[in-house]
Every structure is written in structure tokens, then in C-alpha cells.
Amino acid sequence: MSTGFRALPSVERLLSQEPLQELARTYSHDALVGMIRQELAERRQAIAQGENPPSLDELVLALQGRLRRTWTVFPQPLINATGVILHTNLGRAPLSRAAIQAVTLAAGGYTGLEYDVAEGERGSRQAHVEALLRQLTGAEAGIALNNNASAVMLGLAAIAAGKEVIVSRGEAVEIGGGFRIPEVLAQSGATLVEVGTTNRTYAADYEKAITEHTGALLKVHASNFRVVGFTHTPATEELVALGRQRGVPVLHDLGSGCLLDTAQFGLAHEPTPQESINAGVDLAFFSGDKLLGGPQAGIAVGKQEAVQRMARHPLARAVRLDKLSLAALTATLLHYLKDEALREIPTWRMIALSPQVIHRRALRWRRAIGPRASVVKGESTVGAGSLPGETLPTWLVALDPAGGDGGADALAARLRSGDPPVIARIAEGQVVLDPRTLLPGEDAALVKICLEALREQETPGR
């Protein structure tokens, strides 16, 4: 073991290698030394566990790879060829050109974030976005926060802290990423009261559970799962009528934040904030980076008194939206007011793409890639917990591993090692690429990376 330790080069010897000298001209000497020491410490631990010591060249290559992975801008841009439009792991909704421009302008200079230019005095960061939300949803007021989980938690804390919140047993769910309704309720200071059963809950179940300790009725849209068969859930209007009769606020967590009718694209109807407001809820919550097609945000709209209680709550400052997200969100909302969402917002442009347009794009890829590519029918999904079980017809370009080393898994890995990485799916032993989720201008890069990956797989010893 001691012999293995002595085989490791010193920090000084590694620094003298040309590839690392080149890095030393770009990065801090102390930071580079720290990274080398970390690598050597991990190698010593591996040797102690029985591994052979690496060669000098292997260490240099490992350090180069480590630095490329660590000292780079994050998150890394990539090409989404999965066919999942709102892919949570890939950053969900890409922004429109107008939203990107708004972020750039806000980032590059001073802004009137909390300054009223007309009055020459302090203003509110919520005033402008609130006006847009009122126009789009018909609500009396609105507030934008850093994500939907924080919007729900703040709403519960402001409206029902120290009281009971009644939820259908079938809606006391985990939406994703550990966001569990019971736990959010606990953090808000409210107490969960479950009613009904997993598959069937009636308005009468809520009514029986109302006491002098009830702070709110909470309805949660099942945005990332579906219960089918013998089911029932009360309409939002039923809960609102009950809430008014008993003097209890009604809150509605919509999840996706869909301002357009999804049925026009052959998808199931997704509840909208407009419908919740028309039904009379006190607060409706939804995301900004799902079907809204904007940046990460959590939005609450509803009665003015309820929104004001949220805005005055001490937690509001902790979960407020920053200037860059506000810029992107307001630019995205303006697309809806200009009736240009289907043309300008990438999420909706992808949803609205016809199979015919996708087929023509897929044929161009197949011709450019060559005989290892074929065009097959497939399905795209919306993703990010939106419209579970719903799909959109598409055409896929399938890459045949053709007996190459490692098969489809190895080919998909080579696509991911491209610059930029291409993220695909594997189906029936082939790597499949869905044109629906590519942005304009990405086709040439995708074809180039596919050709390189296929060549590497054919090269012996690679």
C-alpha cells in the first residue's frame, strides 16, 4: 500500500505538466492547487481500498475532466430531444425571446424594481405584475413568489395558521420533489384534516368536518397523477358555496398555471386560474414555469383581502421574486395579453406543433444522418406534472446502435458527451430523438453530434 502511495506524483510535478500549466494561466493558482490536492486525496483513499495507482497521464486527464465539470457556467446548456416539453430535470420551460431580452436588460443595469419613477419615491416590486395578473385572470389582486410551493405555504400561513385546513384524502398528495401537502400544511402552522376517501370525496364530507377551528378548505388539483374508475370530487363551485355559507375561505392549488384551453390541442382540459376565480375562490395558486411558459415562480391570485394578508406576512420577504424572474414573468404574461402566446412562448409553440411539421423536420434529420437513422411514429408528453397520461402524436428519429459497443445505452451516452449534450430516449433497443422539443436553430448541432456519436461507436477501441 505504501508503495502505491509513493507512486502518486507530487502537486509540483502535476503543476509542471503542460495541460495543467495552461489551466494555471486561466485559473487561480491556489484554486488549482486545492483541486489537485483533492484529487490526490481521493486517489490515496482508493489505493487504500485496493485500487492500483494511476499513471501520471491518467491523473492529468482526470484533473482536466474534473476542472471541466466543476469550473464551468451552471446550469449547462443542452439540447432536449426527449419529447418531454416541460422536463423538470432539464429546467422546464424555455423562455421566449422577449423574456430573455427582458432578463438581459434587467441584469445589465439598474431597474425600477422598487422605485416609482412617476412619483419619484419608493414603489412596490409587485405592482406591475399584479396589474397583469388581474387583467389575465379576473382576480381582484395577485402576488408573484419564487415557486408554487412557497406560494401555497405562504397562503396557508397567512390565512389559516393555528387553524385546521380541510383537504380531501385523495388530494393530500406529494406533487413532486418532496412537496407533500401534509408537510406544507404543517410548515405553514396549519393542521391537516382529511375527509372522504382516496377515490371519492363529496362536499358533504367537507361540511361535516367544519368546526369553529376551521381556517380554510383546500382543493388540490392532481396535476401529476390520475385516479380513474369509481371516483368523485366536488366541483370548485360546490366548495365555494359551502365556504360562503359557513364563512370559511376556499383555497385552490392548480399546479400548472394554464391560461389557455388545452383541449384545442387534443389534450384533456387543464383547470385554469380564470375558472377558479370565476368560481369564487379566495386564493388560487399556480406555477410560472410549467404551462404558463415562463420562469420559475409561484403565483397567487384571488380576493384582495386574502392577497394583502399574504403580502403583509413576514414570510413574504423570504420567498419574494428577484428582478430577473420578475422581468421574465412580466414579459411572458404580456404575450397572453397580446394574444401571441402560441407564436412566442416556446412551451405553447411546441404543444401546438402539428405532426406534419414534425414529420418534415424528422425526414431532414434522417437524410442528414444517413442509413443508421429511421423515422418512426411516437408520442410526446407535456411533462413537469402537467396533464398526466396525456400525449401528443409525433414523429421520432430512431438511431440504430447496429451492434456497436455498448448498444443503445452507449450511444445515448455519446450523445450526452457532445457539445452541447444531446439528451434523448431509449425505446425498443434504439435511441430516439423527438423534433418537437428542439428549439429553432438547434437542428444543425444535433445532426453533427449524432454523426460524431455514430462514428465513435463504429471505431474499434473507442
Per-residue pLDDT tens digits for 293-330: 999 999 999 999 999 999 999 999 999 999 999 999 99
Shared-domain flag, residues 166 and 278: yes
Looking at the structure, tell me whether residues 197 and 306 fall in a common domain.
yes
3-state secondary structure (DSSP) of residue 122: strand
Answer with the one of 35, 70, 105 that is the final residue of a domain.
70
pLDDT in tens, 257-274: 899 999 999 999 999 999
Whether residues 277 and 422 share a domain: the answer is: no
Of 313, 340, 367, the residue at which a domain comes to its end is 340
Are 251 and 310 contained in the same domain? yes
Please tell me whether residues 305 and 432 are part of one structural domain.
Answer: no
Q: Looking at residue 87, what is its pLDDT?
A: 95
What is residue 165's predicted lDDT score, i.e. its pLDDT? 94
pLDDT tens per residue across span 149-173: 899 999 999 999 999 999 998 887 6
Task: Say which amino acid occupies 285.
Answer: F
Query: DSSP state, 383?
Result: B
We report the CATH number of the domain holding residue 154 as 3.40.640.10
Identify whether residues 218 and 255 lie together within a single domain. yes
Phi-psi region of 357 (alpha: psi -120 to 50; beta: other; left: phi over 0): alpha
* Cα→Cα distances 232→165, 169, 201, 277, 385, Å: 20, 12, 6, 22, 21
Find cell 463504429 and name the residue: 458
Asked whether residue 299 falls in the same domain as residue 365, the answer is no
Extended beta strands in 207-271, E state: 214-220, 250-255
DSSP assigned state of 373 = E
pLDDT tens figures, 19-65:
999 888 889 999 999 999 999 999 999 998 988 889 999 999 999 88
Confidence grade of residue 462 (pLDDT, cut at 50, 70, 90): very low
Helices (H), ranges, 75-125: 97-107
Q: How far is CA 240 from CA 195, 250, 256, in A?
A: 17, 6, 21
Identity (one letter) of the amino acid at 376?
Answer: V
Partners of 326 in beta bridges: none
Percent of the chain exceeding pLDDT 70 equals 95
Whether residue 392 is found in the same domain as residue 298? no
Q: Is the pLDDT of residue 361 over 90?
A: yes
- Shared domain for 448 and 309, answered yes or no, is no
- For residue 372, give Cα distances in angstroms to 52, 79, 375, 399: 40, 20, 11, 6
Name the domain boundary from 340, 359, 385.
340
Asked whether residue 20 falls in the same domain as residue 127, the answer is no
- Report whether pLDDT(426) > 90: yes
Domain carrying residue 34: 2-70
395 and 432 share one domain? yes
Q: Are residues 232 and 357 in the same domain?
A: no
Residue range 198-212: mean pLDDT, rounded:
92
Domain count, the chain: 3
What CATH number does residue 445 fall under?
Answer: 3.90.1150.180
